[in-house]
Structure formats: structure tokens, C-alpha cells
Chains A and B, each alone.
Chain A
């Protein structure tokens, strides 16, 4: 499968714990995006990378959220001190030369 992959697919954590999600984009796609999707809503943009450079991060929901793409390949999204309001689906998308963003299956987070 050469699509976008995300790991884990599901994560249950207790409030206050830190969580980290991984995204592996389509090979050779230089742009990578993170979105958050809450139940019954459309995805909401969080941040994006071009290669290893994080070009937009003002939409990250709070300073508890951070993302990295250290070698311009896979990316991680970390949420520190999780809150119940962080419960959502976290989606990663990658983009090559055209405009199309290809989404992964998402990581569903439940904060208890």
C-alpha cells in the first residue's frame, strides 16, 4: 500500500498524559498536513510542512500541540497534558506536485 499511513489508529489515554501520533506520507510527497476532525464536522487545519520546514503553525490549537518532520519524511504530532476536549480524529495528508491532498486513515484519540 503506497498511501498515507498513520499510527496508531486508535489511542485511549487519561487526561494529563502526553500522546504522540505518527504519519508516513506518500513517498516523495514534500508537503505534509495535519488536520483535526471532531464528530460530525469537517477537518480543521492544524499545521503543515514543506519538506522539513514547518511553514504554518498558527492554527495549532494551543501550545500543548507541537509537530515535527525532522528529515522531511515522516511526521509526528504531539499533544502534551491531554484534555477531554482533545478527543477527536487526527488526520494527516500529503501532497505532491499537484493540488490534491491525500489523507491517511486517521488516529482516533479518546481522552478519559
Chain B
């Protein structure tokens, strides 16, 4: 059972554009939602994270929007740059455990 669904699988954006990646979850016991960035051959690195009591969190060019009633959250990358080209994963942490459940990933390419 895929508990965190992520879309799109791949995304091409022009430099300076906005990249939007969406995730949906099923388990209402999830209470922490991080986004990770992964470059080829590297481990995932935390970008930004949010708790469900907050509807939006912004850090630099990265913003998470969270809709608790719809059980959806999204990552917005403003002014996308070629260096942002990577695979992005949303994840969710269960409030009674410690394992992260990851989405399937979005491969982002930012064209110069």
C-alpha cells in the first residue's frame, strides 16, 4: 500500500519558473512532513519540513503548502535554477513511530 503518493514523476521547468510538486497521504497519524532533495549518487538531504498545524512554511525559494483536510501538501520552488535539477521526495513520519514513508519521487530538470 503506497501511503504517500507523489506527482508528477518528472518535471521540466525553465530557469526562473516555478516548480510545483504535489503529495497526498492517507494515514491521518502522520504528523511531520519533510521534503528531501537527492542528487545522483548522493543520499537524500533535507530541504524543508512542516507540521500539520501550519498551512504554509517558507525558507528562501522553497515553500511548503499544507492542506490538512485534503491530506495534501506541496513543494513550490520559486525562481527555479539549473542547480535545482535533482530528484525530490516528500515523506511523512508517523506520530507513533520513527520510520519515514517516502513518496515515489519527482525528477526535476530546470532548463537554462
Contacts and interface: CB of A to CB of B under 8 A. Distances in A.
- Are A and B genuine complex partners? yes
Report the interface size class on chain A: 20 to 34
A27 interface: no
Contacts, number: 59
B99 A33 contact: yes
B100 A45 contact: yes
A3 B102 CA distance: 21
B93 A99 contact: yes
Interface in B25-60: 32, 34, 36, 41-46, 49
A27 B89 CA distance: 26
**Residue of B4, B49, B91, B99 with highest tally of chain A CB at under 10 A:** B99
A15 B32 CA distance: 39
Interface string B74-112: 000000000000000101010001111111110000000
Contacts of A56: 97-99
Interface in A52-75: 55-56, 59
A48 B43 contact: no
Interface in A84-112: 91, 93, 95, 99-106, 108
Contact of B103 (A42, A93, A102): A42
B46 A42 contact: no
A31 B102 contact: no
Nearest to B93: A99
B96 to A, nearest CB: 11
A48 B42 CA distance: 21
Contacts of B99: 33, 45, 48, 56, 59
Interface string A32-53: 0101000011111100100000
Interface of B: 4, 6, 32, 34, 36, 41-46, 49, 89, 91, 93, 97-105
13 contacts: A33-B99, A33-B100, A42-B89, A42-B105, A45-B99, A91-B44, A99-B32, A99-B34, A102-B46, A103-B36, A105-B41, A105-B42, A106-B42
Interface of A: 4, 31, 33, 35, 40-45, 48, 55-56, 59, 91, 93, 95, 99-106, 108
